[in-house]
Structure 1
Amino acid sequence: MRLNKYLQLSGVASRRKADELIKSGQVTVNGEVVREPWHEIDPEKDLVSVRGKAIRAMERPVYYAFYKPRGVTSTLSDRHAKKTLSDYFPHGTPRVYPVGRLDRESEGLMLLTNDGDLSYRLTHPRYGVIKTYRVAVSGGPLTDGELMRLRSGIVLDDGPFRPKKVEKTGSRELLIEISEGRKREIRRAIKCIGREVERLVRVAIGPLRLPEELKPGEMRPLDEETVKKLRESVGLS
């Protein structure tokens, strides 16, 4: 097996980052520095270390859909947070990492995986992965003028808010699609039209949709067909 592939499957880094680690001389095989990402190793016999630390045995890629509840910090650990994602992991859950983030007051779909390549592509702006949200706002019925402002783009402190889609689904409810995902982007845009977000739920990441039967705090493994579609959506086989 190629060294960069081994690092990726072990959850150390994405394939691209693994290449960088190897080329910069930070990876050793049986104590010898190897600088060729394509170097062949035997996972059963060779000892691979990164920055002097032996990495764990190669892990099988795993994928979970998780419904992040409102009020939960979307990291695995945070000493300042009341609750984090790992508080909801059943005993024996493999080592996985969240792909992207949801702010503490938002809820909905998160992907948990140890697939570094997929994680990198789903979060990198270059791949333009669409994230879909259902949003309920404060106040009376939304007006055509407010919808037009959201659709045409709103200038925020860190750049323009340019949604791919804004659809009115109820008197005070919206379906919003974005491909960037800057910090609290939707909440800030809604505030610019004089309203507040009362509820924000992420319902899709690319082709991956939040399972209807999944309740807040629950997670479930993705089937092979779903994983295949998700990887293919960002150019991975």
Structure 2
Amino acid sequence: MTDEAPEGVRLQKALANAGVASRRVIEQYIVEGRIRVNGRTVTELGTRIDPEHDLIDVDGTAVQLDVSKRYVMLNKPTGVVSSMKDEKGRPDLRRFTKDYDERLYNVGRLDAETSGLLVLTNDGELAHVLAHPSFGVTKVYIAKVQGVVTPQTIAKLTKGFDLEDGFIKADKARLLDTSRGGGAGHSIVELTLHSGRNRIVRRMMAEVGHPVVDLVRRQFGPLHLGTLPAGKSRELTKIELGALLTLSREETPADQAPGDVQEKQ
């Protein structure tokens, strides 16, 4: 935040340009102490900011002042690799970004046979933070697995065990459904993890004796896939974007687990 009056942009103008609210409404927010600049509450209507460097939040939710930034949620289908250009010629993410003027990149990865929520953006800083394994963004997966999962197996997933690259445990695990028809049957398990280790859901379920048949990521941090069909994308709502930016600006990342690498489920 600049202290030199002639420099910068008036706070209410910057927030109005970002689509937060009208200038008059924002002025009321300022007077009520609902807006912070770089973590400090401001109440002066003449406050000026540097939109390129100052961090603004309204009622504790971060605001993106740069309107050139784009944030897209994709329900990645199976058979598509999480790359903008695959060296092996496999179907990649370019088909989902060609209609956008900006050059978008994926935040983290899902392996080719895993479907579900993937964030695409041209905000390199946010992408780096959210994809970094030490930050530990929570993800929720729905896995269809072989065999009938027991309560004891669910307990083992949350208690944890050793894999070849270190100890791992699910933040949460619950059994959604089981079916004993057709031989050994199958189960539907919901797993919540903050680890970004390579193919970690598949490896965990294989370790407890229930190989994954189908895997979908339903949630990434504050974002939920909802009813978005496979192969479709949409821009984040202002509420979703605010929640994602707020998450990315947290000062204390989660502890990095041994062996953590960029996620690839």
Instruction: Give yes or no for TM over 0.5.
Output: yes
CA positional deviation for 1:207: 0.4
Q: Where does 1:19-30 land on structure 2 (aligned, <5 Å)?
A: none
The answer to whether the 8 A contact 2:81-2:93 is kept is: yes
Q: Which residue of 2 aligns with 1:224?
A: 238
Which is higher, the Rg of structure 1 or of structure 2?
Answer: 2
Of 107, 120, 125, 2:115 maps to 107
Aligned partner letter, 1:228: G
Per-residue CA deviation, residues 112-159 of structure 1 (Å, 9 max, x unaligned), is 0011221122122332210111111012x2112211221111211111
1:144 aligns with 2:158: no
Q: Where does 1:1-237 land on structure 2 (aligned, <5 Å)?
A: 60-139=68-147, 141-171=148-178, 172-212=187-227, 214-235=228-249
CA positional deviation for 1:93: 4.3
CA distance in 2, matches of 1:90, 1:96: 9
TM value normalised by structure 2? 0.63
Instruction: Please report the RMSD computed on the Cα atoms of aligned residues, expressed in angstroms.
Output: 2.3
Aligned partner letter, 2:244: L
CA positional deviation for 1:234: 2.6
Which shifted more, 69-78 or 152-161? 152-161
SS in 1 for 2:234: strand
Residues 123 and 229 from structure 1, CA distance in 2 versus in 1: closer, same or farther, beyond 3 angstroms? same
Q: Which residue of 1 aligns with 2:257?
A: none
CA distance in 2, matches of 1:63, 1:131: 18
Aligned partner letter, 1:82: R
The answer to whether the 8 A contact 2:136-2:196 is kept is: no
SS in 2 for 1:82: coil
SS in 1 for 2:109: coil
Identical pairs, percent:
33
The answer to whether the 8 A contact 1:67-1:216 is kept is: yes
Aligned partner letter, 2:133: P
CA distance in 2, matches of 1:228, 1:173: 32
Q: Which residue of 2 aligns with 1:23?
A: none
The answer to whether the 8 A contact 1:164-1:177 is kept is: yes
Aligned partner letter, 1:79: E
CA positional deviation for 1:90: 4.3
Structure 1's consecutive aligned runs of 4 or more residues displaced over 4 angstroms after TM superposition are none
5+ residue gaps, structure 2:
1-49, 53-65, 179-186, 251-265
5+ residue gaps, structure 1:
1-39, 43-57
CA distance in 1, matches of 2:92, 2:242: 28
CA distance in 2, matches of 1:81, 1:150: 36
Q: Which residue of 1 aligns with 2:12?
A: none
- How many residues align? The count is 181
